Structure 1
Amino acid sequence: MALQFIGIDSDTGQSGSPTAWVDLENADIVLQSYTADEATRAQCVENTAPGHAKGIPTHETVIRVPVRLVAMLREACDAAERAAL
């Protein structure tokens, strides 16, 4: 796996920083961010996508991405599209 670093949340200091990368082998966007609290997870379970079972599968999680990362996510999307070509 070859990850391209896109950016890190400038407001979080040296640890626990939400970060974005792009996997150059399959163009996936890889995110490190805050674990969603139980209230957020419950809302995600209640607002399940149409046609999907309720719940969060054991191989998935819910994260919160701070708005400060929006520009980095746009950059990550652009990098992912380039990697997919």
Structure 2
Amino acid sequence: MSLVFIGIDPNTGDKQSPTVWVDQEKQELVFQGWMPSPDLEAECAVFEVPGHGKGIPEGEAVIRIPARMVHMIREACDAVERADIR
């Protein structure tokens, strides 16, 4: 895997580090974030969307990323679309 670091939460403390990367090989965004509260995870698991089954499939997870990282997520999206990742 060839990860390219895009950014880390600017308000990161010693033990928290929401992070955004791009996987160059797979052309995917990779996020590290906070685990959701059990209540949020349960709410996501029962949310119904057409064409989407209830629940969180094995191998998937709900994560939380602070809104202050939106510019990093945009940068990662742009990098994947351009395929000119640093």
Structures share fold, TM-score greater than 0.5 = yes
Deviation of 1:52 (Å): 2.3
Amino acid at match of 1:81: E
Task: Work out the CA distance in 2 between the residues paired with 1:9 and 1:49.
Answer: 30
Q: Helix, strand or coil for the counterpart of 1:34?
A: coil
Which structure 2 segments of 5+ residues have no match?
A: none
Matched, 1:5 2:2: no
Matches within 5 A, 1:5-24: 5-24=5-24
State the one-letter code of the partner of 1:20: V
Could you say which residue in structure 2 is the equivalent of 1:55?
55
1:16-55 aligned at under 5 Å gives the runs 16-55=16-55
In percent, how many aligned pairs have the same letter?
52
Q: Alignment length, in residue pairs?
A: 84
Q: What is the identity, as a one-letter code, of the residue corresponding to 1:10?
A: P
Deviations 1:23-73 (A, max 9, x none): 111210000000111111111122132122211111101001101110100
The aligned residue for residue 71 of structure 1 is 71
Name the aligned partner's letter for residue 81 of structure 2: E
Greater shift after overlay, 13-22 or 56-65?
A: 13-22
Q: Which aligned segments of 4 or more residues in structure 1 are displaced greater than 4 angstroms?
A: none
With the length of structure 2 as denominator, give the TM-score of the two structures: 0.88
